[in-house]
Chain A
Amino acid sequence: MSGVVGVVVFPGSNCEMDCIESITQLGGEGRLLWHGDEDLCGVDAVIVPGGFAHGDYLRPGAIARFSPVMTEVSRFAADGGPVVGICNGFQVLTEAGLLPGALQKNDGLKFLCQPAILRVESSDSLLTSRAATGDRLSIPINHFEGNYTCDEETLMALRDEDRVILRYIDNPNGSVDNIAGVCNEGRNVVGLMPHPERACNELLGSSDGSVLLGSLLDLVT
């Protein structure tokens, strides 16, 4: 029996249907979760998708973390439930304190939508279990605030605990230590700036994203 992946929709989110489409294509089942509902409808995993939740007002994710659904997402994560934040979703999870660090403006002070080559740094995560350390994946980025930063102590912890999941081969945005994706201490919450749902079809340029989303589906199936 296959599990259900919930995809959170805030006003201003825009990648929710793309996530559902790719999950469905990979044989999973997706369900939209409305930001105003304090209910995860019994889903087996949660994706916080890309977009501009609440218009990115104040700063990305700063308002979304107060949406009622986030209380439930936090509880779900605390219970060990798998949670993935993609792009704006990663920003929301850092604002909500579910992941360390923060995403600041790209070094070049421009929005960037382009392919990025990623290196899998750890296969011990809910997004990379289908990959091997060292694998290279072509997955697009699409952000203005994707420049990952954290304090020295956090960076050391991320490195020592094998919590850097993905790194950019050719750092596009100035992220510290070329970090593209990280996980929490419990390894059940992952955030990444690149969009795996945009890379699940060769017709669109790459199907490398299915390695990541497929890993998530393995977990909930």
Chain B
Amino acid sequence: MSQPLHRALGLTDDEAKRIDEILSRPANPLELAMYSVMWSEHCSYKSSRIHLKRLPTEAPWVIVGPGENAGVVDVGDGIAAAIRIESHNHPSAIEPYQGAATGVGGILRDIFTMGARPVALMDSLRFGPLDDPRSCWIAEGVVSGVSGYGNAVGVPTVGGEVVFDQTYMGNPLVNVLCLGLLPTERLVLGQASGVGNLAVLLGSSTGRDGIGGVSVLASAGFSEVDDGDKRPSVQVGDPFEEKRLIEACLQLLDENLVVGIQDLGGAGLTCATSETASRGGVGMDVDVSAVPRREPGMEPHEVMTSESQERMLAIVEPEGLERVLAICDRWEVSAAVIGRVTEGGALRIMDGFDGEVLADIPAVSLDDEAPLYERPRKSPQYPPGPSADDLELPVDAGVDLLNLLVDPSWVYSQYDHQLFLNTVVGPGDDATVLRLKHPTTGLDTGRGLALTTDGNHRWCTVDPRQGTALVVAEAVMNLACVGARPLAIVNCLNFGNPENPEVMWQLSEAVDGMSEACEAFGLPVVGGNVSLYNESAGSDIAPTPVIGLLGLVDRLNSRPPGARFFEGNHVALLGPEEVGLGGSLWGATNGAPGGEMPFADTAIHARVAALVRDLVLDDLVEGVHDLSAGGLGVALAEMTARSGVGVHVSRVVDHRALFGEGPSRVVVSVDPERMTEVLHRARGAAVSVTRIGLATGDRLIVKGLVDLSLAEIKSVFTGRLPEVLGSGTTNRQLDGQ
């Protein structure tokens, strides 16, 4: 017995009933297909919208907040920055290369849709453990996909993060952030206006790839058996098409030829036509037969829901059409008039503009009238696992320390991170720093933009509210370490199945934690994305809100010092000494993910961040590193490995002080002659300073706990990923040389 069509499309019985009420008649199959994609979790945020409203979104420098294709903030000198982050988790689990590649393509279109030239990408990646072959296969495919698409499309990938953990086995997280710049006056919005204007479809022809991707893939979890059937729902990317599309669209915008423009992403043409019409308060007639197709025999519902990549919908005035087509021709981008802006609010799908009406839907009902659910929430009954506070001093803390080291350069050396000559600090440091040049004149402002992405599923598992607040705090400190002050946040909320009340509780708590931290630091959230149903084999992932934080460096005269030591530097710890082992990397690695978590005192945190920012901008420190996963031990080891200079540290009493994690803590490495000034500044800022040691020699020595050689640290640090994932570098010499 077959199920009713609406259920096969992922709509509930209640939702189908509601659709019939909106239309005052039974919906036909094409209309049902259109509602099913637009009312999917992925497009409608129906489970999360009610919570997202609690996030602060306003600040004087915010030009466009959440709800548009990207958030836009004023960064001065007539320049605006467009920023967005989006997940491509499920496609990447099924087909890692194309899943990640099309994630990059999609986020780029969101940015140039706003009139901005994309200038930087970041990737926040989370995979299953390194001893799981399938997770390694996914990791390699995803990194190749980002590399293959991002490099060829000509936008540098300037940073990100990579995490390996059991919780992401079978359900990796691939969150892609894009930053674009535009002259403030060029801002365009994804809306249609002007009755009689034309909707022109630019870019690739439409094929059967990605049919219903948002409802089939992104809005349901993975079972063990049927993943192969979902493969046709993954789209295929073509960076060369996208590159030409970017150049053509930016030229159209430069010449003022479009009144509105919208990318085609999830839910394809249905989404682009209904959203532009709905936002502009108009209707649209769409001639489905005019859509260029990749293959014969495609049904209207396939054309309307296909997620074929590299397509844009531009709303243009009829007088401008000829010029639009000429520009597209120059860039070898195909362009077809497929719609007309109409009065009223009806989205009509037709077989020829004078032909049969195949669907007739109030555009606004696909977009604004999507269902809104307040799903049940319940806090978990049990702690997340054994408490790390009960763990004893390890026999050899040095071995434990080595175990926590991972150098991500295997990942980012595969990304072009230098294109456009902006990258002052690239991937691998606390935060990325880009020169801020005017996007059309190229004029250097002498200032910089800073970017970081952060997430911590361990903290968020122990306490999603406090954990998320700590993630925001860490991002703020990352920016401080490169001399930047924070401006705006975008977020990607990666959670499990929303029908599980504990997952909804995690989501709600995380939103509250983010709100509280953003309020405390005066940060608006200018955009976001929610990815639910991250589960596999019936198990939800650990709650993983990821944030992207954009900041400004007010003076960019020299490169920030970075995480390193110089021989003879004095090493000091800024900020409080209190740490917790609950949710720490060391605890989780040793089978104890639970325990007491540190608490973020936002007032102290803001003071430490301001001090660190000043020390960096005034060139008073030679090395600086935010303490995060793995605590003081990992920070010292990373600084040692990066600089090739050892360090001798005392005053670290036990494993708790070595591996415990807490906010507002930064290691600085200081020229002895500057130490007095640093201490003076810290006193002035009411920040405590602990002098912990001296940078020297070629060993990392923590008195009574750790004694490792630089060579050993370096080999483990840099060797971990290439050893498992394959070397990217060889040093073959020609025989007989």
Contacts and interface: CB of A to CB of B under 8 A. Distances in A.
Contacts of A56: 152, 240
B556 interface: yes
Interface string B629-648: 00000000000000000000
Interface stretch (B227-235, B359-367, B420-428): B420-428
Nearest to B156: A113
Interface string A167-186: 00011111011100000000
Interface in A102-138: 106-114
Nearest to B727: A108
B24 interface: no
B288 to A, nearest CB: 29
A1 interface: no
Nearest to A203: B424
A interface bracket (residues with beta carbon within 8 Å of B): 35 or more
B728 interface: yes
Interface stretch (A10-18, A91-99, A212-220): A10-18
Interface stretch (B103-111, B170-178, B410-418, B607-615): B410-418
A177 B415 CA distance: 26
A171 B731 contact: yes
A198 B416 CA distance: 12
A113 B728 CA distance: 11
A55 B152 contact: yes
Interface in B211-239: 238-239
B243 A11 contact: yes
Nearest to A176: B734
A99 B737 CA distance: 23
Contacts of B238: 55
Nearest to A16: B154
Contacts of A57: 240
A197 B421 contact: yes
B240 A177 contact: no
A170 B152 contact: no
Interface string B525-568: 00000000000000000000000000000001011000000000
A201 B423 CA distance: 11
A144 B727 CA distance: 14
Contact of B729 (A51, A54, A112, A144): A112
A217 B730 CA distance: 35
B390 interface: no
Interface in B421-445: 421, 423-424, 435, 442
A51 B154 contact: yes
Given A11-B240, A108-B727, A111-B151, A203 B435 contact: yes
Given A113-B413, A197-B421, A21 B559 contact: no
Residue from A12, A112, A144 with most neighbouring chain B CB atoms (10 Å): A12
Contacts of B415: 111, 113
B154 A171 contact: no
B418 A140 contact: yes
Contacts of B556: 203
A13 to B, nearest CB: 8
Given A14-B243, A52-B239, A203-B559, A170 B418 contact: no
A170 B731 CA distance: 7
Contacts of B357: none
B363 to A, nearest CB: 35
Residue from B241, B414, B416, B732 with most neighbouring chain A CB atoms (10 Å): B416
B244 interface: yes
A166 to B, nearest CB: 16
A60 to B, nearest CB: 11
B732 A107 contact: yes
A171 B728 contact: no
Interface string A183-221: 000000000000101100111110000000000000000
A12 B414 contact: no
Contact of B154 (A14, A177, A204): A14
Contacts of B521: none
Contact of B414 (A14, A17, A112, A171): A112
B332 interface: yes
B240 A172 contact: no
A52 B413 contact: no
Given A113-B418, A201-B421, A171 B435 contact: no
Contacts of A177: 734, 737
Nearest to B733: A171
Contacts of A204: 418, 421, 423-424
B345 to A, nearest CB: 39
Interface string B327-356: 000011000000000000000000000000
Given A11-B331, A170-B731, A203-B558, A114 B413 contact: yes
A132 to B, nearest CB: 23
Nearest to B557: A203
Contacts of B147: 110-111
A52 B435 CA distance: 24
B440 to A, nearest CB: 11
B5 interface: no
Given A52-B240, A113-B414, A176-B734, A108 B728 contact: yes
B414 A111 contact: yes
Interface string B301-344: 00000000000000000000000000000011000000000000
Interface string B247-274: 1000000000000000000000000000
B419 interface: yes
Nearest to A114: B413
Contact of A11 (B244, B416, B418, B559): B244
B434 to A, nearest CB: 10
Nearest to B737: A177
Given A11-B243, A21-B442, A204-B423, A112 B730 contact: no
B558 to A, nearest CB: 7
Nearest to A56: B152
Nearest to B410: A110
Interface string B144-167: 000110011010000000000000
A18 B442 contact: no
A142 interface: yes
A51 B558 CA distance: 28
Contacts of B244: 11-12
A107 B730 contact: yes
B424 A171 contact: no
A14 B416 CA distance: 11
B324 to A, nearest CB: 18
Interface string A46-70: 0000011011110000000000000
A108 B240 CA distance: 24
Contacts of A51: 154
B331 A112 contact: no
B432 to A, nearest CB: 13
Given A111-B151, A174-B730, A178-B733, A198 B421 contact: yes
A172 B415 CA distance: 15
B421 A12 contact: no
30 contacts: A11-B240, A11-B331, A11-B332, A14-B154, A14-B243, A17-B442, A21-B421, A22-B421, A52-B151, A52-B154, A52-B243, A54-B240, A108-B726, A108-B728, A108-B729, A110-B726, A110-B729, A112-B414, A112-B729, A113-B412, A113-B413, A113-B414, A113-B415, A113-B417, A140-B418, A177-B734, A197-B421, A202-B559, A203-B556, A204-B421
Given A108-B727, A112-B413, A171-B731, 5 more contacts: A106-B728, A107-B732, A112-B728, A174-B732, A202-B559
Interface of B: 147-148, 151-152, 154, 238-241, 243-244, 247, 331-332, 412-421, 423-424, 435, 442, 556, 558-559, 726-734, 737
Report, nearest first, the 10 A-B pairs whose CB atoms are least far apart. Answer: A55-B240, A14-B154, A110-B728, A107-B730, A108-B728, A52-B152, A111-B414, A111-B147, A174-B732, A114-B413
